[in-house]
Amino acid sequence: MDQGDWRAERFEETRGHLRAVAYRMLGSVGEADDAVQEAWLRFDRSDTSGVANLGGWLTTVVARVCLDMLRARKSRGEEPLTPAGPGTVDPQASKPDPEQEVLLADSVGLALLVVLETLGPAERLAFVLHDMFDLSFEEIAPIVDRSPEAARQLASRARRRVRGAGAPDANRSRQRTVVEAFLAAARTGDFEGLLAVLDPDVVRRIDAGAVPPGAPTEMRGAQNVAKAALAGARRGSAPVALALINGAVGVILAPGGRLTLAMQFETRDDRIARIDVVADPERLRKLEVALLED
């Protein structure tokens, strides 16, 4: 077997693992494949004769590529697909497949992908590599240019965000009960159930981009808000999930792991007094979203 064939064979043995790492780092099949392809290019032009753990070396390479892509994404304030570098392309690289995207997202959890999107690049890398792929902080530290202890701190901060900053307090638990009752009534078409959980003077505000042109962005009164909730539940097909939004219990809509809508609730005397529906991309990026554990 010549050197080229040996390299290709070794790389294919690790491709699935590298793609899993890249997907959890980037949240996109297309971007993950770009990162894996770049790792292949770097492997193909590197002297790895002295590398004892080739799988670990390749994991480090793809992690560095993903970190660069995340930092570029943050600096632009957008999330475009990063094209492959010029020159040779990996003939084995797979094309983005919508079905694979869904399967990968399901395997990670859409809500988790949303939370990962809110982390800084270094936090995300430390959390993913340590908590999901069991890399030590000694291995992670040089990738993020920090000490092992600093890498541990990055993962710890990310973990608190992912887990909703610990167990909910009593007020948050009561708020969750109210929000869950609202969702259940909307899903089952229970108009009276909605009225029971809404304050009579409830106010619902929604970003202009989430309503038809000319439609009001503010609505008042339990009757009106209940009717709108039922209409929205009938139209909606994508699943929603409970999450902490800026520290309070809310609801997110995240098809494919991309946050497209968030509902923030303000409760008073165990009833919903205000609903803020956020759909503007700039406002969504500023929200702190964390998983709500079952």
Q: For residue range 218-260, what is the model confidence (pLDDT) as tens digits?
A: 999 999 999 999 988 887 656 678 888 888 889 988 776 678 8
Residue 95 has pLDDT above 70, yes or no: no
Three-state DSSP at 207 gives coil
N-term to C-term CA, the chain = 52
* 168-214: pLDDT as tens digits: 445 788 889 999 999 999 989 999 999 999 999 999 999 987 777 87
Enumerate helices (H) and strands (E) in the chain, giving the number of each.
12, 7
Q: Which domains does the chain have, with CATH numbers?
A: 3-162 (1.20.140), 170-291 (3.10.450.50)
Contact partners, residue 243, CB within 8 Å, separation at least 6: 111, 114, 115, 249, 250, 251, 252, 262, 289, 290, 291, 292
User: Please, which pLDDT band fits residue 93 given cuts at 50, 70 and 90?
Assistant: very low
Q: Quote the CA–CA distance of 1 and 3 in Å, as a whole number.
A: 7
* 104-159: pLDDT as tens digits: 555 556 667 777 877 889 999 999 999 889 999 999 999 999 999 999 999 998 88
Mean pLDDT (the chain, rounded): 82
Task: Using a cut of 0.85, tell me whether the model's pTM lies above it.
Answer: no
> 81 near 35, Cβ under 8 Å?
no
Inter-residue long-range contacts of 67-72, CB under 8 Å, 24+ positions, other chains counted: 67/25, 67/121, 67/122, 67/125, 67/143, 67/144, 69/26, 69/31, 69/34, 69/35, 70/25, 70/26, 70/121, 70/124, 70/125, 71/121
- Would you call 133 exposed, middle or buried from its count of C-beta atoms within 10 A (0-12, 13-18, 19+)? middle
Task: Taking the CA atoms of 275, 277, 283 and 284 in sequence, report the sign of the dihedral they define.
Answer: positive
- Max Cα–Cα distance, the chain, nearest Å: 77
> 278 near 262, Cβ under 8 Å?
yes
